[in-house]
Amino acid sequence: MIQELIKVALAARERAYAPYSRFRVGAALLTSGGEIYRGCNVENASYGLTCCAERAAVFNAVVSGERKFQAIAVVSDSDDFCTPCGACRQVLAEFGGDINVIMCNNKGEYAECKVAELLPGYFTLDPDADKPGHCTNTDCTNTDRR
C-alpha cells in the first residue's frame, strides 16, 4: 500500500502549481476505508496564500465526506525526505496523531513516522469541554487557558 500511495503522490506532484519556488510537492492521503485522495501545492503571487500538497489532500478528502485517515505520502523533487511543514502537521493532527506520514525523496526512498511524533503537543479542542482548548503535551506546564 505504501508503494501505491507513493505512486499516487508522484502523479499528484505533476499537477503542482509552483511557478515561484519551482518546488513541486504531491501528496496522497489514505482513508480508513481505503480510498486515496490527492493533493499538490498551489502557489500564489501573494506568497502567504500558497497551500501545501498535504493540506490540499486533506481538504480534498474532507469535502468528499472523509474524516478518518490512515496514512499520507508526501513527495517532492528533492534528494531529501519531504517532511510536512508545521501548518500541515497541525492540520493532519486535527484528524489524529496516529496518522502515518510517509516522507519520500526523489529516489523512491522514504522515512515514516506518526503525526504526533512530528508535532508533539499539537493543539486540540474538545467540542464538549468547558475549556476552549488544550495542549496535548502532558509535559507542558502552561496547559491551562484563561
- Which residues are tagged catalytic? 54
Binding to Zn ion by residue 58, rule CB under 5 A? Answer: no
Q: Does 140 bind Zn ion (CB under 5 A)?
A: no
Stretch of residues binding Zn ion (CB under 5 A), selected from 13-21, 48-56, 98-106, 120-128: 48-56
Contact positions with Zn ion (CB under 5 A) in 61-120:
85, 88
Q: Which is nearer to Zn ion, 52 or 119 (CB)?
A: 52
Residue nearest Zn ion (C-beta atom): 52
Residue 11 carries which DSSP code?
H
Residue found under cell 478528502: 61
Distance CA 138, CA 121 (A): 8
Residue 145 DSSP code: -
Which CB, 1 or 87, lies closer to Zn ion? 87
Shortest spacing between CB 53 and Zn ion, in angstroms: 7
Contact 76, 47 (CB under 8 A): no
d(CA 6, CA 109): 10
Tell whether residue 29 is a contact of Zn ion (CB under 5 A). Answer: no
Q: Residue 136 and residue 130: Cα distance in Å, rounded?
A: 16
Footprint of Zn ion on this chain (CB under 5 A)?
52, 85, 88
